[in-house]
Homo-oligomer: A and B are copies of this chain.
Amino acid sequence: MPASSVSKRALRRGLILFLLGLSLAGHGAESGESLARQGAGGAPPCVTCHGADGRGNAAGGFPSLAGLDADYQAKQLHDFASGQRANPIMAPIAKALSDEQIQAVATYYAGLDAGSGQDDDAKPGESPGRDWVVNGHWQANQPACIACHGDGARGVGDQFPALAGQHAGYLEAQLKAWQSGQRKNDANAVMAAVANAMTEQQIKEVAAYLAALPAAGEVPEHARPDPAPRIADALNDYFQPPLLEYLPDNEFGASVRRGADIFRHTSSDAEAGRYVGNSQSCVNCHMNNGRQANAAPMWAAWGQYPAWRGKNHKVNTMAERLRGCFTYSQNAQASEAGQAPAADSQVIVDLMSFLFWQSKGTPTGEVLPGRGYPELDEPAQPFSPERGAALYADHCALCHGNDGQGTALTKRRYQFPPLWGDQAFNWGAGMHRVNTAAAFIHANMPLGKPGSLSVQQAWDLAAFITSQPRPQDPRFKGDLETTIKDFHGNRAMDYYGKTVNGYRLGAPGTLEQWQRDLADKP
């Protein structure tokens, strides 16, 4: 390590310690650093195993803590102390720490430099684990690791820790622990579902790729998702869309790639974002970049257009159908452009290139298995938003937030989409219907655990979510009753115009009232 780098780091550390000292001085708490270096209550100091720089020790199986989210670390220490996370070494150490000490030491390690990759000899771009990490393993219904752990696997919030640059052996051991049930201290047992979908070999490969990812600096190109995976990702008995190797390296391929970017990050795309009036992206409803059977796959939709649609009383080409998604699911009326992109705009052309390319080999005009969302059986009891609210807290709030507002990375980019409110799909989107939402939920949610909810639970959840305030139906011309009559005929499956929790859904002012109520929440 060059001297100048050492002295810079020393300066930075000094500054952090100084600030920590200031903040803790008032109430007599120990600094996180002194706890880390000296231990507390007879417990050995953290640095013994996790190193002076907090980056752990690969050979010993000790994880890097540097830069890990403080709340995540604090939760782990509490879990070690309570036995929720079983670990014979960490249990006595965590038990010896007070709540304040846990917070201090977690904050200390969160502030350390995570570095830029541990395994310098790895060739991450060629790693067989890459595809699972960046594209997912959708044959097993598993989204990419980065779908929850964020860009470059650098963590999202306090529930999805950074994985990039963590020691491979530690990652491997944890995946096996999730798999065996030895570790189970996550929310909703998501990691058990993920790990159970993996073979021992896959665990090794995924861990190796994650370990080789830089924990800081620019996210490398190879860690960004592809327009298509390099390994088959179709569920059994369904159409297999083309793999990456078939994507040509020419102008058409460039259009497909642009379309894939738009599809994945519609609301924050430099071009397409102008037409998005909320925080929604195509991939939210069309899982796995529109490739997943029973998640409204694009390859099953492509060959169905032009088709007449009652929704707008005309024959819709695919371009028009895509415009419909912008109009309703992406609430274009509230966008910068104020409307969906034109049928011949580059945004629509690129999306069409992407859809068309995914559809190579599908029979034109024929209905394919896996199209749309599979129709769900009727619920045993009438669906209930009240039961849905409880289920939501247990199964959905982790990602979509207690108030349905999703998990935002930036103003326009969300790791997990909002489900109601001004950033959600509007009252004209297909997803506002209870049956559509229930079918989607049952087949695809929670992420990584589709099929884990019962039919009744899916209906109840759908009822809860679709009975929340959201943006106006763009076909509303001033009169709720007329809009109901013209476009919301299926009253059994539609909360539009009904009053739920004091909100007259779809009525002028309702969404604004809901926004004020949310802002006033403690």
Q: Which residues of A contact B (CB under 8 A)?
A: 250-252, 255, 302-303, 305-308, 314-315, 317, 319-320, 342-344, 348-350, 352-353, 356-357, 359-366
Most chain B C-beta atoms within 10 Å of own C-beta, residue among A250, A314, A362, A364: A364
Contact status of A315 and B255, CB under 8 A, knowing A308-B250, A344-B342, A356-B305: yes
8 closest cross-chain pairs (CB), A and B = A360-B365, A343-B344, A251-B308, A252-B308, A343-B343, A255-B315, A359-B364, A306-B353
On whether the beta carbons of B365 and A364 are closer than 8 Å, the reply is no
27 contacts between A and B (CB under 8 A): A251-B308, A252-B315, A302-B364, A306-B353, A315-B350, A317-B344, A317-B349, A317-B352, A319-B343, A319-B344, A320-B344, A320-B349, A342-B343, A342-B344, A343-B343, A356-B365, A357-B365, A359-B364, A359-B365, A360-B363, A360-B366, A361-B363, A361-B365, A362-B364, A363-B363, A363-B364, A364-B364
Q: Chain B contacts of A303 at CB under 8 A?
A: 364
Copies of this protein in the assembly total 2
Q: State the CA gap A189–B41 with chains docked (Å).
A: 111
- Report how far A171 CA is from B377 CA in the complex, Å: 64
Taking CB as reference atom, which chain B residue is nearest A313? B251
Let me know if B319 and A356 touch, CB within 8 A.
no
Q: Does A361 contact B361, Cβ atoms closer than 8 Å?
A: no
Give chain B nearest CB distance to A390 CB in angstroms: 44
Q: How far is the CA of A366 from the CA of B317 in the complex (A)?
A: 20
What is the minimal beta-carbon distance from A354 to any residue of chain B, in angstroms?
Answer: 9
User: Bound state CA distance, A307 and B366, in angstroms?
Assistant: 22
- Other than the given A319-B344, A320-B344, A360-B363, 11 more pairs (CB < 8 A) read A251-B308, A255-B306, A305-B356, A314-B349, A315-B349, A315-B353, A317-B348, A342-B344, A357-B365, A362-B364, A363-B363
Dominant secondary structure at the A interface: mixed
What are the residues of chain B within 8 A of A353 when measuring CB–CB? Answer: 306, 315
Closest residue of chain B to A357 (Cβ to Cβ) is B365
Q: Which residue of chain B has the shortest Cβ distance to A255 in the bound complex?
A: B315
Scoring A344, A348, A359, A362 by chain B CB atoms within 10 A of each residue's CB, the highest score goes to A344
CB <8 Å contact, A255 and B308: yes
Q: Which residues of B contact A361 (CB under 8 A)?
A: 363-366
Give the docked Cα–Cα distance between A306 and B315 (Å): 19
- A48 and B136 alpha carbons, distance in the complex (Å): 90
A258 (CB) vs chain B CBs: closest residue:
B315
CA A319 to CA B352, docked complex, whole Å: 11
A302 to chain B, nearest CB (A): 6
CB neighbours of A360 from chain B (8 A):
363-366
In the complex, are the beta carbons of B252 and A356 less than 8 A apart?
A: no
Q: Report the minimal beta-carbon distance from A433 to chain B, rounded to whole angstroms.
A: 22
| Residue on B nearest A250 in the bound complex, by CB | B308
Give A54 Cβ to nearest chain B Cβ, in Å: 50
> A365: which B residues are within 8 A, CB to CB?
356-357, 359-361
- For A302, what are the chain B residues with a Cβ–Cβ distance below 8 Å? 364
Q: Chain B contacts of A307 at CB under 8 A?
A: 252
Could you tell me if B356 and A306 are in contact, using CB atoms closer than 8 angstroms?
yes
Query: A348 — nearest CB in chain B belongs to which residue?
Result: B317
Instruction: List B contacts of A362 (CB < 8 A).
Output: 363-364
Chain B residues near A317: list those with CB within 8 A: 319, 344, 348-349, 352
Residue on B with the closest CB to A302? B364
Q: How far is the CA of A279 from the CA of B252 in the complex (A)?
A: 34
B residues less than 8 Å from A356 (CB atoms): 305-306, 364-365
Provide the residues of chain B in CB contact with A363, threshold 8 Å.
360-364
Say how far A369's CB is from chain B's closest CB, in angstroms.
16
Q: How far is the CB of A258 from chain B (nearest CB, A)?
A: 9
* Cα separation A307 to B363 with both chains bound (whole Å): 18
Chain B nearest CB, measured from A141 CB (Å):
25
Complex CA distance for A360 and B305, rounded to whole angstroms: 11
A37 to B315, CA, bound (A): 62
* Shortest Cβ gap from A309 to chain B (Å): 9
